[in-house]
Chain A
C-alpha cells in the first residue's frame, strides 16, 4: 500500500460522461491485483473532503502507469473529469483484497454492469497472462450502447463476448442477468461480477442456484479506505453469524455467498 502524489498523464473521454484516466505511478502499477482499487484525493483542499475510490482497470508495468475507467456522477468525479493531464493527484493504493483466483476447473464467466466492467477487464487480462489458458466468457450489460464503455477492451480479453443493452440499442436487448442462466449450465467453473448492487444480487442468486462459485465486487461510501474508520461496511453472513464487514479491507471482492443480499435489498447501498 502506498500513498503518494502521482500525475494524471492522460485523460480521454470514452463515452458520454465516461473517462479513461491514466496515472503515472510505478508502485501501484507494479503491485495492483485485479479487483483492487485506488483511493484518490480530488483536491489539495479540504472540500470535497473525502477521497474517492476507483477500481484499477489495468496496469502498464513497463510505463509505470495504471488506468481507471470513471463515470461522472457528482462533484469529485466531475473534478477528475475536468482535470488537465499533468495535474497532480494524491493517490493511496492498491487497496482491498482483489479477486480470488478461480479453481482449476471450468470456464470463467465475467458479468459486467456498466462501469463495473473496469475491474473485470483487469481480471481477464491477468487470467490470460502467459500460462493462463482459461476460457473466458464476458457478459457486458448497460442501459444503452452509450454506456457500454470500453467494450472493445473487454471483448478483446474475452474468448467469447456478449453485449446486452436495456434499450436494445446495441447487442441483445434485456438485462445482463437474463443471459447468465444458459452460461451457468455449461460447465462454468466460476463467475465474477461487478455492477449495481441489484444486478449483483441477481447474479449471486443464480449462481447459488446453479452451485457455481461467484465473486462480486461491492461498493460502499468510503472514509479511510484502509479499514480504520468502519464506515464502508456491508452486511454479511457466514457460519450462521451476521456481521458488518469492510468493503475497503475485507473486500471489495466478496464471495457472493457471504453477502447478506436480503439486508442489501432493504437499502444498504450507497447513493
Chain B
C-alpha cells in the first residue's frame, strides 16, 4: 500500500503511514535549511516525526536561494 501525495506540485509516493520525517529521510543528500508546508499549514520541525501524510496531501518543501 502506498500514500499518494503531491510534493512541490509533482506526484510522489510514500509507504503507508509515512510521516514528514520519513519523506525527508528519502532525500539524498539530506536537505539542510528547509521548511515543510502540508496543505497550506507550516509543520514545525518538532512535529516532523508525528505528522502523518495521507493520500492527496499537498506537500511543499522549501529552502532558501539567493535573492535580493
Do A and B pair up? The answer is no
B interface residues (Cβ-Cβ under 8 A, vs A): none
A interface residues (Cβ-Cβ under 8 A, vs B): none
